[in-house]
Structure 1
Amino acid sequence: MQAVNKQEVFTKASIYMDTTVTIQVVLRDSNIRSASQAVQRAFLAFRHVEQVCSRFSSDSEVMQLIKKAGTPQPASDTLFEAVRFALAVAKETNGAFDPAIGGLMEDYGFNRHYLTRKRQHSDLAEKDGAYTDIELDEAARTILLKKPLILDLGAVAKGLAIDLAAMELNKFEGFLINAGGDIYAGGLNEHGEKWKVGIQDPAEKDKLAGTIELSNKAICTSGSYARRSPVNAAEHHLMHPSLKKSAGSLVSCTVLAPFAMMADAFSAAAFILGPDNGKALLERAGLQGMLIEPSFHTAFSKGMEEVLG
């Protein structure tokens, strides 16, 4: 067997969606200029999804919907697909995962734009809406809000941006997109091996709860340690819609999936559902996951333990 020579890696980072996005491209048969241009297009995918799906900007497409509640509105492909996937997960979880939770998120202070630091207040919004108040028309590609709701697409938008960015990089034999710990690994790394990814220990940020080798797959983690409420520090951003407070039976949930939007949404959904129901959700979807409780007891969905290092 011949040894695989180490290849050069082109790396660039930028800030989108309140996180650092780092992209690595392995330069096996590609030059730096080609990689740089592709990475720039990948970053534009993040910018585009943010402009469409952010509830922190009053002029984003998703926030414009609230002003036109009661009437079906034409939607861009990006917004339509994000909402359609979020609604599918909401139905699968009977509303434990609910994209109509934006009003509650504002109440807990999760409404400050990470760049301008300006707070977004949506006075028109009703606080008691749910995913059942959102209707999609597949043929007309329209979205109807039956009530003036704030859609929170945070659990699907970053994953969608990663997936769109990956499409710009698919011609390369190896690349890695890391958006604040949500990752898509394409092909092989500079050593000709699968990409090795660490899973953060929820108790100590400098330690790992495990490692995993990935190729052409996404991994996303939802954790209570990531974002705390500025209104009530005891609460975090993973809200249970019916309880109107943070889900508390897990501290971390990591999910592997073929696409980042799926891993992103299902890690949040399983976190909210808790260890037993969350594990059942992942197994129904055929996804591998690791669910860590506050006691640090860890549950695994089928197949996850076998791939952990």
Structure 2
Amino acid sequence: MKHSSHYALSHVTESFLLMGTTVTFQVVGHKPIHDIQKSIQRALTAMTAVEQICSRFDESSALNQLCQQPGKKVAVSPILFHVLRMSCELASITNGVFDPTVGSQLEQLGFNQHYLTGQIVHAHPQSYDEGASYRDITLFEDDLSVCLNKPMQLDLGGIAKGLAIDLAAKELAEYEGFAINAGGDIYVFGIDPQGDAWTIGIENPLSPHALIGTVQVTNMAICTSGSYKRKSPRNPLVHHLYNPLTAQVATGLLSCTVMAPLAVVADSHATAAFLLGPQDGLTFLTDMGFAGLFITEHMERLLTPLMPIKEYLP
């Protein structure tokens, strides 16, 4: 997939701290560098808006404002409604293994600090209903309203970052190529700086600065959920991928990588497949028609039939 042109392509790379991680934009295009930088700022603004709406760690976020009004029908933004609807659909498909109502359980495990600032969250309602689940969320499509039928703390960490990446990608769609990398959740489009499809590395979960393999793709999202990515400040053996059906963090896998045309889909399905475990997760992704790679706790590699690993690295 070589790209030929009589004009030199500009290549701009910029990084920012956002959504609890480092977000890096690479843009390849014929426009002046100044114009590309302005487009990156628009993409950054789109991602920031999602964080301000969906963050569990911001007391003033729309998400936390909703959680402080259990039993009431609350009008929400299109972004929050869309994320909640997708979360509830995935919760239904997985019979509640993926559930956006696990915020209180995550707080009790020690995940009540902002990942970048360390600030303690005090945004939750005064009491939780221990039996609250996604089934207690009522969505009103006609006027984009939501009612939380029981007191609960929502957590959209398994899906909001993917949506943020997709909205940022829309701001960069005019360029010949770009890559957005938000802490290992990646979307690539068009060509890389050499005029080829993008080569994406998949992290080794036991040595995250090393790679376990690469794939060469374009117009595709690649997102990874891993037990190595977020550890509880209270207990380094506890990670953030919590299964509400077992009331424990998920076991059996070190990481799950999913490829899909949209980052919001790849992000959420990587989380869901990780929570389902090696065999059920593999069946889930295969049935859904997604490419996926699992790394088990014994460093075994399990692939769905569509996963196009270019090469394995030692």
Q: Using structure 2 for the length normalisation, give the TM-score.
A: 0.94
**CA contact under 8 A between 1:66 and 1:125: conserved in structure 2?**
no
Kindly indicate whether the alpha-carbon contact (under 8 Å) linking 1:254 and 1:267 is maintained by their aligned counterparts in 2. Answer: yes
Question: Residue 14 in 1 paired to residue 16 in 2?
Answer: yes
Aligned identity (percent) is 43
Runs of 4+ in 1 over 6 A off after TM superposition: none
1:209-253 CA-partner distances (Å, limit 9, x unpaired)? 110112110000011111111222221000111222210111110
> Given residue 41 of structure 2, which amino acid in structure 1 is its aligned partner?
Q
What's the RMSD between the two structures over aligned residues? 1.6
The 8 Å contact of residues 4 and 191 in structure 1, kept in 2 or not, is answered as: no
Select which of 90, 114, 139 maps to 2:142: 139
- 1:299 equivalent to 2:302? Answer yes
User: Does the CA-based 8 Å contact 1:235-1:245 persist in structure 2?
Assistant: no
SS of the equivalent of 2:162 reads helix
Structure 2 CA distance for partners of 1:93 and 1:154, relative to 1, 3 Å:
same
1:1-40 to structure 2, matched below 5 A, reads 4=4, 7-27=9-29, 29-40=30-41
Change (3 A) 1:275 1:2: closer
Change in 2 beyond 3 A, CA 1:3/1:300: closer
Q: Write out per-residue CA displacement over residues 41-66 of structure 1, whole angstroms, 9 at most, x where no aligned residue.
A: 10011110010000111110000112
Matched ranges for 1:246-285 at <5 A: 246-285=249-288
CA distance in structure 2 between the partners assigned to 1:114 and 1:223 by the alignment? 16
Deviations for 1:97-122, whole angstroms, at most 9, x for unmatched residues? 00000000100111112454321132
Equivalent residue number for residue 70 of structure 2: 69
Unaligned runs of 5+ in 2: none
Work out the CA distance in 2 between the residues paired with 1:119 and 1:238: 20
SS of corresponding position for 1:235: coil
* Structure 2 counterpart SS, 1:164: helix
1:61-112, Cα deviation, whole Å (9 max, x unpaired): 0001122111111110110011111111111100000000000010011111
What displacement does 1:289 show? Answer: 0.1
Alignment partners' CA distance in 1, 2:204 and 2:2? 37
Give 1:47's aligned residue.
48
Aligned AA (2:18): Y
> 1:261-283: per-residue Cα shift (whole Å, max 9, x none)?
10000001000101111011111
Amino acid across the alignment from 2:38: Q
Task: Work out the CA distance in 1 between the residues paired with 2:287 and 2:73.
Answer: 33
Structure 2 equivalent of residue 229 of structure 1: 232
Query: Would you say 1:209 and 2:218 are equivalent positions?
Result: no
SS in 1 for 2:271: helix
Distance 1:273 1:289 in 2: 13
**Aligned with 2:259: secondary structure?**
strand
Q: TM-score when scaled to structure 1? A: 0.95
- Return the alpha-carbon distance in structure 1 between the equivalents of residues 117 and 209 of structure 2: 29
> In structure 2, how many angstroms separate the alpha carbons of the residues matched to 1:50 and 1:126?
26
- Distance in 2, matches of 1:112 and 1:292, equals 28
Q: How many residues align?
A: 307
Classify the secondary structure of the residue corresponding to 1:154. coil
How far is the alpha carbon of 1:148 from its aligned partner?
A: 1.4
